[in-house]
Structure 1
Amino acid sequence: MTSKTLSNGILRAIGTILLIALGAWFLYAIQSIIIYLVVSLILTLICNPVVELLKKKCRFNNTWAVITTMILLLILVALFILMFVPLIASQARSLSLLNTESIEEKVMLLYNDLNLYLLDHGILVQDLFKDIDIASYLNMNFIPSFFNGILSTISSIGIGVASVLFITFFFLKDKVTFLVGAKKIIPDNHEIETLNSIAKINDLLTRYFIGLIFQLMIVFILYYVVLLIFGVENALIIAFICAVLNIIPYVGPLISSVLAASLAMIGGIGGDFQTEILPTALYVLIGFYIVQLIDNNISQPLIFSNSTKSHPLEIFLVILTAGFISGILGMIVAVPLYTIIKVVAKEFFPDYKIVQVLTRKL
């Protein structure tokens, strides 16, 4: 190996590293656009069945079917903004303006009530925590910051919503054009497999995302009903946050239950701990547990198993593995990504036994 060959190899390696670094920086710089594209793709998968229905049942041409679908989507977005967001924002604002010192005092009162309750039952909590100053660990200033952050996010999504709707319109309208362009890029020897993969992925993920939306709506309504039944303050915002947390498989419902019970206990300060505060928190926990039983045994099997053609244990292991690798974000994207991988594997590697076992229902 000559010095010239070695130097050329080093220069090529440095150039490759620089290109990779530049590409990573570029992707980071346009991360908002990437998010818009991903959200638009999801909306396209959700809206596509409506477009096809209008074309088949109402005899609309492609353009008018897409325009009608986008109008319906805009109406839904407008209703969400005009009717739903102000309710959430008003309740969030009331929470964000709370006196944090008052909240800390309430938590200390709650701690003292809990201590007396356990003392009456022979459990000496003070001996366990005698060297710990509970008050020094209480800092409720994060509550206004948290809810003010939600309000600022709600107020700054206008550009994002407009961009997503614009991109979604052309994804729906020019879907055939995009497929034709993709066919020209795809190598001829893999064209059939690639187009089959795209069609199957579109079908499976469309059903998955539509089902997920219905699941979150059902969970939100049930959470809201439970909180209203037991008179929990700010029931709407709490139910909304808990329903959104339900997107995180397995972990989200647990966090939701603990959050709802904690807020119910804090909101009940001033009443008797043993006869009012503690029973309300337990009832909320039981109510949320019943909601999660309904969700786990009806909603999730229909969405995660039937829509993606995967066994529940298979889905559980995939989500668990993704959680260890990428945390909460990995758990959220695990099922759609795993579905895509299975479809591609079935089309391109059908002779492998492990692929045959995992994709036998596809």
Structure 2
Amino acid sequence: MKRPVLYLIIAILVFFLLGWYFSNITQYFIFSLVIAAILRPLTNRINSVHLMGQHVPRWLSILLSFALVINVIFLISLLFVPLISAQIQMISSYDLDYIYERIQNPIGRIEDLLIQFEIIKSEPGFLIMQVRENLVAGFGKVNFQGLINTIINTTSSFLVAVMAVSFITFFLLLENGMLRKNIMNLIPNAYFELAVSTFNKVEKLLSNYLVGLLIQITCIFSLAAIGLTLMDIDYALTIAMFAAVANLIPYAGPILGTAFGVIVGLSTGNFDQSNEITLMIFKILSVFAMVQVTDNVILQPLIFSKSVKAHPLEIFVVIFAGAKIAGILGMIFAIPVYTIFRVSFMEFYIGYKEYKIFKI
């Protein structure tokens, strides 16, 4: 094997070893690369604007891009303020007896069905008593000091991660291709065309994927918002926004969005009869069933199959590998990261098969 190829293999192994050892920094860097890829078109557009005969400075364009993203997140968060306020007021006025009364009818209906089909052999009222005992025991075991400490630690870790990713993303955008140029300078001339082709294909696929993802979120929000509004569900826009963002989490996201909608409907609705609860749940489930059919039949094939160009089984394995490595964020970023490595490997494999410079 020629020395340049051997050096390249050694460099790749060292890169993966360092990435594994400094896993936190690696995660921050990967997230920053993806965010920089999303913000670069916006930053370039702002940077191209002329003010008083001069381009907007690059650093100011980046800060304006950050400010726009923060404002969008802030406006989205405003949708949840009324819901959170209503839930806080509701919880502050609740007591265990009130909660017990609210769940007594649906639990009683479930118990009647279980006794009717002889799934359980107990006297009526057994299941509701078990729920009441567990409810009282659960409230009694809540460790509020531990809960506060967990919230503080989680918030601190989150803020550190946000600061690190923001800092790295800022300089990736500020360099505006310098990182790519420096990497290209390290590549021997014999592999230059192959490296350029790899970079171009990765950028194109990632761009298609990110644009498709934005379209998917918009479509899911629109469909869910319209459907829930027509079904006269309270906080329809809030539920739709949560479902659209949660859908970024593969496989688990649709379940989380549906569960959130049902929980919000149960906690904010006023029900005089038990069949009204069933009807409300049916309305929410029917809306999200329609949304998921549309997503699975139309949106998902367009986004994953055509943009990433990977088999569904590959996507499945990669997503769960990402969940194992970095939890929910790993699931979200698994496909973009996999795209980078997959395209790079395929391009170099094709180069090995077709070009004499890779031969032994």
Q: TM-score, normalised by structure 1?
A: 0.69
2:274 maps to 1:273: yes
Name the CA shift for 1:297/1:150 in 2 (closer, same or farther; >3 Å).
farther
Name the CA shift for 1:220/1:129 in 2 (closer, same or farther; >3 Å).
farther
Shift of 1:307: 1.7
Shift of 1:278: 0.5
2:246 maps to 1:249: no
Cα distance between partner residues in 1 of 2:110 and 2:133 = 18
Unmatched tracts of structure 2, length 5 or more:
1-13, 354-360
Shift of 1:65: 6.3
Q: What residue number does 1:112 align with?
A: 108
Cα distance between partner residues in 2 of 1:238 and 1:332 = 20
- Measured against aligned partners, the alpha-carbon deviations of 1:7-52 in whole angstroms (never above 9, x if no partner) come to xxxxxxxxxxxx9xx9789736xx3x55543333222211223355
> Which has the higher mean CA deviation after the structures are superposed, 123-132 or 283-292?
123-132
Name the CA shift for 1:341/1:255 in 2 (closer, same or farther; >3 Å).
same
Cα distance between partner residues in 1 of 2:150 and 2:79 = 16
Cα distance between partner residues in 2 of 1:285 and 1:221 = 16
Cα distance between partner residues in 2 of 1:136 and 1:217 = 44
Q: Secondary structure at the match of 2:248?
A: coil
2:42 maps to 1:46: no
Shift of 1:296: 1.9
Name the CA shift for 1:160/1:249 in 2 (closer, same or farther; >3 Å).
closer
**Contact 1:41/1:168, CA 8 A, preserved across alignment:** yes
Cα distance between partner residues in 2 of 1:248 and 1:280 = 26
Q: What residue number does 2:7 align with?
A: none
Shift of 1:215: 1.7
What's the C-alpha RMSD, in Å, of the aligned pairs? Answer: 4.5
Which structure has more relative contact order (CA 8 Å, sep 6+)? It is: 2
Amino acid at match of 1:107: I
Amino acid at match of 2:273: D
Amino acid at match of 1:110: P
Q: Secondary structure at the match of 1:247?
A: coil
Q: What residue number does 1:135 align with?
A: 132
Amino acid at match of 2:224: Y
Matches within 5 A, 1:282-361: 282-310=282-310, 314=311, 316-322=312-318, 325=321, 326-327=323-324, 329=328, 331-350=331-350
Cα distance between partner residues in 1 of 2:258 and 2:264 = 10
Amino acid at match of 1:46: I
Amino acid at match of 2:30: V
Amino acid at match of 1:341: F
Cα distance between partner residues in 2 of 1:269 and 1:157 = 37
**Contact 1:110/1:269, CA 8 A, preserved across alignment:** no
- Measured against aligned partners, the alpha-carbon deviations of 1:327-346 in whole angstroms (never above 9, x if no partner) come to 56454344223322321122
Report how many residues are paired: 323
Q: What residue number does 1:229 align with?
A: 230
Amino acid at match of 2:304: F
- Measured against aligned partners, the alpha-carbon deviations of 1:65-112 in whole angstroms (never above 9, x if no partner) come to 67446424413422432x332442442354256136344542333212
